[in-house]
Amino acid sequence: MSDTENRNVVELRKNISDLNMKLLDLLSQRAQLVIKMAAIKHRDRLDLFSPSREREMIQALLQANTGPFSNETVVDLFKHILDVSLELMRGSNGNGLEIASRFDLLPITVPVGDVEFGKKPVLIAGPCSVESEEQIDQIAKELAARGVRILRGGTFKMRTSPYSFQGLGNEGARLLGEAARRYGMASITEVNAIHQLDMCVKHVDMLQIGARSMSNYELLQAAGQTGLPILLKRGFAATLEEFELAAEYIYKTGNQRIVLCERGISTFNSETRFTLDISAIPLLKLRTRLPVTVDVSHAAGRRIIIPALARAALAAGADGLMVEVHPQPHLARSDAKQQLDIEQFDAMMVGLKPCFGG
């Protein structure tokens, strides 16, 4: 290479380096605008992603493209910029949610007893309601022998009819906690009022906030302040953003031990109790740093399809399942049609061995 050619290469390299710096500066300016946009959209509860706006921007770029990059290359370059900008919006420090996915923060894992949500799939199982000491002891013994590490049981039941079984209340919480400890398990029960927290904190290891209470913000904050891990269920008419905002109420108390639970939403369908929103599982895992579980029993409302929904939930990336299991479902005092007996539970677990082992 001659001296003249060498000088030309050096000059071109310098120009390219200068342009690199200018491009970086322009991208940084664009990112700052994106963060400001995210703050406005979070404030006004607008969707962060607008497909029509993205198509409009891409189309304008293609119309302005005079080469030498092909249209396909232009689309690839700017699509990547748009994708990382969307991720920046979801995890921006402006008015973005603290539970949102972030480049600089790892996903949150939630230890409960000797398992940890977010590490490998966790199974929560037990009856819809604690009905007696004998009933909860029997099912705890059976489930513990099958490797279940978290025992569920309703003690304060929110029922549509005031004449339906309302649970055993404080006594139920005590019986649930004692049965779980007797067989080396952790326990979880639902709370639906602040005055129930003190009793539950004494006896159980994890609190559940049910679908009907998802928007009870005082309860969310009070539950968060207990410091116990919390399983938060999605309301059956709640958007994912509303669900995430409910989790944020708990997170902002300083309690990061939150597990999200998809449990089906209300639709026009009458063949099942609710409609399991499978798409919510990967979306929540993309949008937040929290583990996501699925209550397949409440979504189904009928035991025959529970194993299929369980497989679908795990295939979609769920971090765990909640399943209702009763010693004698036909005698259950609540939700009899959606509870499995031990034999049916065993049959379901055969199909879930790749996820849970055993």
Is the pLDDT assigned to residue 159 strictly greater than 80?
no
Is the pLDDT assigned to residue 225 strictly greater than 80?
yes
Give burial (CB, 10 Å; 0-12/13-18/19+) of 101: middle
C-alpha 85/C-alpha 293 separation (Å) is: 28
pLDDT, tens digit, 9 for 90 and up, residues 259-268: 999 999 999 9
Per-residue confidence at 165, pLDDT binned at 50, 70, 90?
confident
Round the average pLDDT of the chain to a whole number and report it. 92
C-alpha 138/C-alpha 155 separation (Å) is: 17
* Domains parsed from the chain with CATH numbers: 3-90 (1.20.59.10), 110-356 (3.20.20.70)
Residue-level pLDDT at 93 = 41
Angle between helices 71-90 and 3-44 (to 10 degrees): 50
pLDDT, tens digit, 9 for 90 and up, residues 31-44: 999 888 888 887 78
Q: Is 258 helix (H, G, I), strand (E, B) or coil?
A: strand
Q: Are the C-beta atoms of 48 and 86 separated by less than 8 Å?
A: yes
C-alpha 213/C-alpha 189 separation (Å) is: 13
Tokens 């979070």 belong to which residue? 42
C-alpha 113/C-alpha 223 separation (Å) is: 18
Q: What is the mean pLDDT of residues 217-241?
A: 96
Per-residue confidence at 1, pLDDT binned at 50, 70, 90?
low
Backbone angles phi, psi at 180, to 5 degrees: -65, -45
pLDDT, tens digit, 9 for 90 and up, residues 59-116: 999 999 998 999 999 999 999 999 888 877 766 443 468 898 876 678 999 999 999 9
Is the pLDDT assigned to residue 244 strictly greater than 90?
yes
Strand partners, 206: 188
Residue-level pLDDT at 22 = 94
Residue-level pLDDT at 176 = 98
Q: Is the dihedral of CA 30, 32, 34, 40 positive or negative?
A: negative
Is the pLDDT assigned to residue 5 strictly greater than 90?
no
pLDDT, tens digit, 9 for 90 and up, residues 188-204: 999 999 999 999 999 99
Rounded to 5°, the CA angle 63-69-74 comes to 60
Q: Are the C-beta atoms of 79 and 58 separated by less than 8 Å?
A: yes
Residue-level pLDDT at 7 = 83
Is the pLDDT assigned to residue 121 strictly greater than 60?
yes
Q: What's the CA dihedral at 13, 16, 21, 27 to 10 degrees?
A: -150
CB atoms within 10 A of CB 241: 15
Residue-level pLDDT at 346 = 97
Q: Is 265 helix (H, G, I), strand (E, B) or coil?
A: strand
Most confidently modeled range among 54-63, 93-102, 309-318: 309-318
Q: What percent of the chain has pLDDT above 70?
A: 96
Residue-level pLDDT at 2 = 67
Determine the straight-line distance between the first and last CA of the chain, rounded to whole angstroms.
Answer: 69
